[in-house]
Amino acid sequence: MQYRTLGRTGVQVSTLSLGAMNFGAIGRTTPDEARAIVDAALDGGINLVDTADFYSRGESEEIVGKALAGRRDDVVLATKASLPVDEDRNHRGGSRRWLVTALDHSLRRLGVDHVDLYQVHRWDPSTDDEETLSALTDLRRAGKIRYFGSSTFPAHRIVQAQWTAREHHLGRYVTEQPSYSILQRGVEAHVLPVTEEYGMGVLVWSPLASGWLSGAIRAGQEITTNRAKTMPARFDTALPANRARLDAVERLARVADEAGLTMIQLALGFVTAHPAVTSAIVGPRTLDHLHAQLAAADTVLPADVLDAVDAIVAPGVDLAPEEKHDTPPSLLDPSLRRRR
């Protein structure tokens, strides 16, 4: 396992991090299975564990907390808030009212007195940056969090938040967590240059593109991954975007074979090769999944392999742009781009 500095914090984190989204109802990974995964991840050198209150409505945090019992100080523990956790209209977003309450709930579920990294899960367009940053700064001063970051923010909002922090003498986001893979490279054009400019740590999620790059999806085979069952539209090969992804996967598989790599090694080696990326978050549902991902921990792709990837999916291109998570709201909702 390799280690890198998380932005300018001085904290050393593994180039692969353990994501806990599948722990609980979402991925149906049981507490016992999750404990085995956490044990194997830590034994394999992973030292950052990432979860969120949104994952299975807090169940993931509870499972992570129990799995880390007695080893809390060995782990850089990260969680997130702002996505809806129930039907209450104020149990979401980036307001001081909610973030303070949400963190207390997360600490209780995790069984800890602080988290190392607290992240705003999505940009909240209804809340002023100063409101959110001042709340996070106070939580840091109270010792409940050590650092705070953003997740899946558009590049212009990352910049705006940095300027707001400077203007109002508040703490700033020191990390960003974007979606990034060989098949979704849009962040290379805007988000990653901004994070480099501000010296932010970058923890990328979905580096296996929801299973497209796991090796389990190939032309002529039935797609049986767990995500295909829960999000069938993302894997319907009758759709043009998915046909383009499948074609890219077939070409990438040949590149991996010629280089003596698994698809997982190619996928994880690719994202961790980018100089802006600190760590790639893997989200195993089973222990076998984790072992396959740990096998990529020390993968370093040579220039000719990276060039071959560029020839298949061009830098800065998203093969499924409709699945982007940082699109400005006005591009998704016509009412927001019409004069009232």
Give 315's pLDDT tier (boundaries 50, 70, 90). Answer: very high
Spatial CA neighbour of 117 closest among 165, 84, 80: 80
Q: Six-digit token pair at 97?
A: 């009212």
Q: pLDDT of 9-61, one tens digit each?
A: 999 999 999 999 999 999 999 999 999 999 999 999 999 999 999 999 999 99
> What is the maximum span of the chain, computed from C-alpha positions, in angstroms?
58
Going by pLDDT thresholds of 50, 70 and 90, the confidence category of residue 134 is very high
* pLDDT score of 327 more than 90: no
Closest CA to 16 of 284, 311, 324: 284
Q: Is the predicted pLDDT of residue 325 greater than 80, yes or no?
A: no
Which region, left, alpha or beta, applies to residue 211 given φ > 0 means left and ψ of -120 to 50 means alpha? left
Which segment of 63-67, 68-72, 233-237 scores lowest on mean pLDDT? 233-237
Give 138-172 pLDDT, tens digit per residue. 999 999 999 999 999 999 999 999 999 999 999 99
Residues designated catalytic: 55
Q: What is the pLDDT of residue 150?
A: 98
**Angle, alpha carbons 287-32-16 (nearest 5°):** 40
Q: DSSP E strands: which ranges in 205-297? A: 279-282
Considering the chain, what percentage of its residues have pLDDT values greater than 90? 86
**Which residues are registered as beta bridge partners of 76?**
48
Q: Distances from the Cα of 214 to the Cαs of 152, 185, 190, 226, in angstroms?
A: 22, 17, 26, 12
Q: Are 179 and 152 within 8 A, CB to CB?
A: yes
Q: Distance between CA atoms of 321 and 313, rounded to whole angstroms?
A: 13
Structurally, at CATH architecture level, domain 3-331 sits in: Alpha-Beta Barrel (3.20)
pLDDT at 260 over 80: yes
Give the separation between CA 338 and CA 67, rounded to whole angstroms.
50
**Beta carbons of 192 and 274 less than 8 angstroms apart:** yes
Residues in the chain: 340
- Position 191, amino acid: V
Q: What phi and psi values does residue 13 have, to the nearest 5 degrees?
A: -130, 155
Helix, strand counts (H, E) of the chain: 12, 10
pLDDT above 90: residue 269: yes
The Cα 61–Cα 49 span in angstroms is 11
- pLDDT over 90 at 103, yes or no: yes
